[in-house]
Structure formats: structure tokens, C-alpha cells
Structure 1
């Protein structure tokens, strides 16, 4: 009785301490994630923000601007978009906590420490503080991982939220949808080799998030524009990347004598980069932009793929390799965002004054010093994540850490290929995913520090703990041993009653 009393008191004390730590983490982590916006005095804006904001008001489809994300921003307008940033931060907190929980290392102080390191060394707080789709690119990779690899360790409401978050993220950006689709394909291919770690039903659920995301995007496109169509612009963006690689100029030289393209008179005056062509003062504007050149750009893209397959493959692989090292924070988040400012002034005049008063609009943001930390950390983390995955594969140890490292590694590679091959390498595309690798490294370090017995010790799916206060406690090494010893003794003592 005395020993039982002491153990109960100890458990209650640890539960109370964990409860206090959980409240501290729940308050501190969102504040850390939104620190850039709080210092700025207004949500951070980016080159592309205005295009998303305008979707509700303009009522038609434009290239590469998801109406789903446009509606998401519209719902937060009355709060000057602080509701959107709050959702960004809370979704990030939830996904980080849930990831650690299913991996069996969910102590609040550990979550707080990891979040602090991520906030100081990665782009994560800037992603959460910016009115852009990028925060959901990384979160959706983790939500898909949990849903597929650890769905049995989550409740039904959590599964529904994970499914909804993944589908919403897929609908906010075509590149995110492509990365998630690629991860599902890898999962189906790898499943026979994973010794039952992933079930058919879990992979089916994960794959259905892609279908749901596509349906959501088509629905919002129809609701706002009256057209049941995909977001336009894919051919135009790919065309610009091929122009930057010199493929378009060569195609025009080969075919202009025979085919009357609108671009033929300009074939010797093409800009050097995709950004100059699409967003600068180029013949693209003169010829009607996407509406005037859309069909011609699509024709050239498809036919140049057929005529120069080796060149196209080499250009795509080169761009992918470049994208993997383009991980700087802050691209497009500077003090001059003419289109975005114009959209806010036109449709949200009440927000012009606070927007103009923000630090960003007064050119007080400089990412030079920040990237002296972020870029080395991102590159080192990506390399270590691949090493962790490779070591697990070589040892044929497909534990939780190996699966997570593999998921993140494939997500980084898929993101680099999709973004670079279509749009060309940009720091923004790399920075929105690189923090995932840093998180993998931090999880590996936490497990190493906790010791061998703490690795891969999350509760098996068949075990349930009714008391929510004990869920986090049983993940601790000492309590895992204690619980298992009690179970062992209980099994041995379950003997038939002696007959008198």
C-alpha cells in the first residue's frame, strides 16, 4: 500500500508538471511562430499574395493562384488577416505535437525546445507569418505521414482533421499536390518491402486526400468563376523555364520559317530569365500575357518536349540539383510589392494605413544575417536526413524514424523536381520544405539523448490508455518499463483459482 501510495503521488506530481509545461508550450510556441509578424505590426506580404487576395473580388481564374487559398484569406480580412496567421500557428503547433506524440517523445518541454530551435534556425516562423500557401506545403507532408504511417495511433477526430488539412494543402498549390501525390505513389511501391508497417487502408486514406484536394480546388474555381476548370498557367510557367534554358529560342529558330508564331518577330530579343519574361517588361505583356499567348506557349512546350527530350531531361535534372541548394529565407518578402499593394489599396482600403506602417513596407527587413544561419542549417539538415534514411535502409530497420526521414527526403527531392523542372530554381521553394529536415534531425537527436530503450517506443496500435493524463507519461523510459513490468506480472498472476 505504501509503495502504491508513493507511486500514485509521483504520477500525480508528474502529471501536474506536464500539464503546466503543456500550457507554457501552447502559449509560447504560437508566439514564437508569429514573432516576425508581431514585430512587423502586420502579416508579412509576398509578391504572390495580391493574386490570392484578388480571387474573391475579381471572380475569374488566373495562372497559379488557387481560389481555395484565396477564399481562406478572404475569411480573415476583417481581422486584418490575424485569424489566418493564428490558424497557421495553431496548425503548426498541432502537427508538431502530434508528430512527436506518435513517435513516443511528446513531452511538452521537448516540444517547446524543438520549436525554439526551429524558430531560431529555420524559415518556419516566417512561413507561418506570411500570407502565402508555403506554410501548408511542409505541414501537409507531416500530416500525410501521420495519417498513413501512424493512423492507428490517432483518434477518429484527429484522422478527420489530418485528412482535411492534407486535402486543403493540396488545393492551395499545384506543386504541393504533386509532391503529396508522389509520396503516395512511393508509399504504394514501398509497401511490400516495409514488413507490414503501412496498411492498404491507410495508404488508401492518404491517396484519397489528393482526390479530395483536387475536388476542393475544382469546386472553389467553379464557385468563384462559374467554370469547372483547373487553375490555369501550368504551360506558361513551364514555357518560361524552357525559355530560360534556351530551349524556346532554339525551337523558334527551327520552326519560325515554317510556322507563324506570335513570338517569331521576338525570337532574338527573348529575356534571359523566366522572371524577366513573366513579370518584367517584356514582349509577354505586348502579346497579351497568358490570355494572348496561352495556346502558343502550350503548343511550344509540348512539341519541344518531343523534339529535344535529352536537352529537356538534362535541363530538368540540372534545375533540380540547383533547387536542392536554394533554401534561403525571405525571397519575395521585401519592401516593394507593387501588385500586392495595388490589390490591397483597391479592394481593402481600410487596411492600407496599417499595411504602410509595417516594418516590411519601411524596408526594415533584411534576410542577409538570417540566412547566414538558415542556409547552413538547412543544407546540413537535409544531408543528415538522407543519411538517417540511408542508414535505416541499409540496416533494414524500418522504424518510425527511418520512415519519417524517408518521407521527408522524398518530399524534398519531389519538391525540388516539381518546382525546378516547371518553374525554375527559387529559394522560396526550398525554404518552405527545408525545415522538415531540421525537425527530423532534432527528433533523431532527442531519441539518441533519451537512450536506446526510448527509441521506437510509442504505444502499439492495439494498446489503449484511457487516462489522457498518462498518455505522455508512458512514453517516458522509466514509465514504459514500469507499465510493461506491471503487465508482465499481471499475466503471470492470472492463474486459475485453486480448487479447495
Structure 2
């Protein structure tokens, strides 16, 4: 790249960054969620939580150094721009890189993308991971021998940032790899390409297992993750039936709480209350590390004895999650969850900025008109992506592979989050911006051709 090209690239990146960072700039501080406190605190306080890996926390620490959280969202914006640029190069190589600016502008208005770019959470990387896996499966010739391994390394990091990404990556690879030629990939992947495409998932599993084995003595990607499934099965019904029947003969710790959980009483009306209430059942029973020892047995009984009920509840949660995607979930203040980490570990200026932010003052929200645009953009994007998928298959275009990856990510994300954690708006909201990506790239291709033909 010449010096002139570097200058032009830098000039183009500045407005793109401003577009992606506008919610944080409006807020006066990067956006946070309840879990942001844990993600910031793990690396600072040197502990490994039971419910989430520490890799995203390490990533955050390398960027903030207990000085400022602004480098976090700037780097997340830069990574987003890189992945979007890589998608253009892979799936529509004839397009000018300058189209990245209008692409970001449209996505920043019609989708919630910037709200996740600007949040100190790993949720942004769910959708970016789907794009990177699609690129690895396509194996485009426009990428150098060193850049493709770098993309694989980046995808590995995104997988270890959040446990749900393991299942999403597995689903994407399991479907895209056998169908890649049918979806428009023109080149043979070969053993090297197959190894490169599968390496992020395999490396991520190895990294998570190694850390958990060293920390907890369990060779598992999620040694206490069965507690999430137990909570879901309890509130969906199958595990509650098991407890009702067996607590007279089997002395599970959970039996102490059978009379205060639905449908008997609603002292803890949701699985979130069960898991996170400070004085709730999970805390009172000694935490996830203790409860997980019996959770597997209860889950096994529920799956073996009531498979149809479990399947019915899972499909219901999946469908419910697909319809829950309103923007703005979790943008209220989090003084007890995030405030202590910022106030104890960061300089006075950072503390003042955090307390003065619109979110901390409880006045930050996604406007109703913008939420409506996000809904319309999502619906139009899904319809457009499905149409692009059909046309791409007919024309043997690699765009079909991107469309398939997007639709699989939307469905897989709803399945993993809805079935394991329970439906929440923010879960599906983190990936809906993907739906507009392929239609926008196709539209840009046709517009570019039309402009060239008029010259």
C-alpha cells in the first residue's frame, strides 16, 4: 500500500469511526450492561468467574490498563470496519472500498450495530464471527496467505469471548462446509483450507478446556454451564416435574426450594431471579460450583423421561426469541453492577465521566422512531437476504454463502440463547444488523454497474 493509499484509507476511517461511535459519543461514555462489571473486573481482580470465560476480560485489560475504557470501543469499531471490509473483498470483490462509508452510515441508522460496537460486552462479536467463518469457508483468492490465518486467529478470539459462540460456530461449520460448492464457492477447499476453517473452533475449545482444567480441575468448555440448562428446564416445567416426583426419595439440595418456585409460588418468578438474585436459590445453595454437581442428574432425568416436553419447550423458546429483538434492552443505569469496578480502579477523570454519562443518569434510551427503523430494517433485511440466497444459488454466486451464514446465525443465535438462557430482547438484537448486510452489498453491486454503464 502506497503512502497516498494509506492517507486515503485513514481519511475514510475517521468518518466511519464517528458513525459507529455515535451512541457512546452521545452518552459521554462507552455503554455498559450488568455483565460489563464482571468482564472489567475479572482481569483487574485476578479471578475466574463460573459463568463466563476470562478471555474477553483480558482483551479489555489490554486496552484500558485501568486508565480509560474509550480504547475498548474504538478498537471494537476498528474490528467491525475490518470485518465489513473483508466481507466486501470476499463476496463482492469488484466493489470499491470507499463504499464502506455509506454501508456504515446505513447500518448505523437502520440497525442497532453501533449500540453493540459501543458497549463493553462481547455481544458485538457474535455477528462478526459469522462473517469471518463464511470468509474462511469460502476461502477467497483475494486474501493473502498470512491474512487468512490472521482471520482464523481473530475468529478464535471471538469464540472464546462468549460461550454461546461455540455452538453458533459449530452449527455454521457443520452446515456451510458440506454445502459450500452448492452455495457458490468456486474453488476446492482442500485439506489446508478445511483445517484453516475448522481451526478457530478447535483452538477455542482447547483454550477453554485448558483454562478450566487448570482453574477448576474440569476438562470442559463450561464446567458449570449445566446450571443454566437446569434453570431453564425448571422454569419450562420438565425439571420441576422431576423434583416433584423424586424429592421424597432423592435428597437433592434443590428440593429445599421446590415450594417457592413456579407454579407453587412466584417468590423467584423467572430463571434470571433464580440465577442472579443475591439471596436467591442459586446463591443460597452454595453457588453454581456446588449446584452443578446435582444439576446433571436432574437434567438427565428430565431429558430421559420427558423428551417431548423438553423439545416442545425448546422450540417455544426458540420461536419466542426469534420475535424478541427490540433495541434498547439493558441501557438503564447499572450503579451496583458496574459502578464499583470503575470507581475503585480507574482515575478520577474516568470516574467523573462514568457518573456524568447519560446512561448513569438514567436518561439514555433508543428513541421510539429509531427502534421502529430497526424493526423495519430487520424485517426488510430478512426478506432481502432470503431473496439474495435464492438468486445466489441459481447464479452460483458466493453471495449465497454469505446469505446462508447470516440466516444460520440468526436462527442459531435464537436457538442457543433462547433454549439455554431464556428469551430476551438483547440476545437477538445483537445480530439483527446482519440481515441487511447481503442486500446492501447486492444493491451496491447493481448501483456500481449502473454508474459504470452510464459513463
Name the stretch that deviates more: 140-149 or 375-384. 375-384
Aligned partner of 1:376 in structure 2 is 376
Alignment of 1:219-230 (within 5 A): 230=221
Check conservation: 2:132, 2:155, Cα contact below 8 A.
Answer: yes
Cα distance change, pair 306–222 in 1 and its aligned pair in 2 (3 A) = closer
Check conservation: 1:329, 1:374, Cα contact below 8 A.
Answer: yes
Check conservation: 2:275, 2:281, Cα contact below 8 A.
Answer: no
**SS of match in other structure, 2:259:** coil
Check conservation: 2:20, 2:114, Cα contact below 8 A.
Answer: yes
**SS of match in other structure, 2:102:** helix
2:64 to 77, 83, 101: 77
For 1:313-335, what per-residue CA distance to the aligned partner results, in whole angstroms no more than 9, with x for missing partners? Answer: 11111111111122222322311
Name the stretch that deviates more: 219-228 or 203-212. 219-228
Cα distance change, pair 223–291 in 1 and its aligned pair in 2 (3 A) = closer
The structural deviation recorded for 1:382 is: 2.1
Q: Can you give the 5+ residue segments of structure 1 that lack an aligned partner in the other structure?
A: 1-15, 455-475, 482-500
Cα distance change, pair 60–243 in 1 and its aligned pair in 2 (3 A) = same
Aligned partner of 1:282 in structure 2 is 280
Cα distance change, pair 380–301 in 1 and its aligned pair in 2 (3 A) = farther
Task: Name segments (4+ residues, structure 1) moved above 6 Å.
Answer: 18-21, 222-228
Check conservation: 1:334, 1:363, Cα contact below 8 A.
Answer: yes
Cα distance change, pair 307–345 in 1 and its aligned pair in 2 (3 A) = farther
* TM-score, scaled relative to structure 1: 0.81
Cα distance change, pair 135–386 in 1 and its aligned pair in 2 (3 A) = same
Check conservation: 2:184, 2:398, Cα contact below 8 A.
Answer: no
Aligned partner of 2:225 in structure 1 is 234
What is the alpha-carbon distance in structure 1 between the residues aligned to residue 220 and residue 346 of structure 2? 28
What is the alpha-carbon distance in structure 1 between the residues aligned to residue 251 and residue 336 of structure 2? 35
Check conservation: 1:416, 1:429, Cα contact below 8 A.
Answer: yes
Check conservation: 2:235, 2:270, Cα contact below 8 A.
Answer: yes
Aligned partner of 1:462 in structure 2 is none
Cα distance change, pair 368–318 in 1 and its aligned pair in 2 (3 A) = farther
The structural deviation recorded for 1:164 is: 1.4
Aligned partner of 2:265 in structure 1 is none
What is the alpha-carbon distance in structure 2 between the residues aligned to residue 118 and residue 243 of structure 1? 39
Check conservation: 1:46, 1:337, Cα contact below 8 A.
Answer: no
* TM-score, scaled relative to structure 2: 0.88
1:445 to 421, 443, 454: 443
**SS of match in other structure, 1:156:** coil
Aligned partner of 1:492 in structure 2 is none
Aligned partner of 1:357 in structure 2 is 356
For 1:451-500, what per-residue CA distance to the aligned partner results, in whole angstroms no more than 9, with x for missing partners? Answer: 4xx8xxxxxxxxxxxxxxxxxxxxx9579x9xxxxxxxxxxxxxxxxxxx
What is the alpha-carbon distance in structure 2 between the residues aligned to residue 347 and residue 23 of structure 1? 33
Alignment of 1:248-397 (within 5 A): 248-270=239-261, 271-280=268-277, 281-348=279-346, 350=348, 351-369=350-368, 370-393=370-393, 395=394, 397=395
The number of aligned residues is: 440
Q: Can you give the 5+ residue segments of structure 2 that lack an aligned partner in the other structure?
A: 262-267
When Rg is computed on C-alpha atoms for both structures, the one with the higher figure is 1
Check conservation: 2:183, 2:401, Cα contact below 8 A.
Answer: no
What is the alpha-carbon distance in structure 1 between the residues aligned to residue 75 and residue 214 of structure 2? 24
Alignment of 1:88-237 (within 5 A): 88-102=76-90, 103-191=92-180, 193=182, 197=186, 199-200=189-190, 201-218=192-209, 230-237=221-228
2:12 to 11, 19, 25: 25
Name the stretch that deviates more: 57-66 or 138-147. 57-66
Check conservation: 1:133, 1:172, Cα contact below 8 A.
Answer: yes
The structural deviation recorded for 1:189 is: 2.6
What is the alpha-carbon distance in structure 2 between the residues aligned to residue 362 and residue 116 of structure 1? 28
The structural deviation recorded for 1:229 is: 5.2
Name the stretch that deviates more: 364-373 or 195-204. 195-204
What is the alpha-carbon distance in structure 2 between the residues aligned to residue 262 and residue 225 of structure 1? 21
Cα distance change, pair 190–118 in 1 and its aligned pair in 2 (3 A) = same
Check conservation: 1:137, 1:176, Cα contact below 8 A.
Answer: yes
What is the alpha-carbon distance in structure 2 between the residues aligned to residue 236 and residue 58 of structure 1? 24
For 1:386-433, what per-residue CA distance to the aligned partner results, in whole angstroms no more than 9, with x for missing partners? Answer: 23224444x3x3312211111111111111111111111122221111
What is the alpha-carbon distance in structure 1 between the residues aligned to residue 159 and residue 221 of structure 2? 13
Check conservation: 1:194, 1:398, Cα contact below 8 A.
Answer: yes
RMSD of Structure 2 on Structure 1 (CA): 2.7
For 1:124-166, what per-residue CA distance to the aligned partner results, in whole angstroms no more than 9, with x for missing partners? Answer: 1111111110111111111121222143220123213211110
What is the alpha-carbon distance in structure 2 between the residues aligned to residue 36 and residue 192 of structure 1? 40
Cα distance change, pair 274–215 in 1 and its aligned pair in 2 (3 A) = same
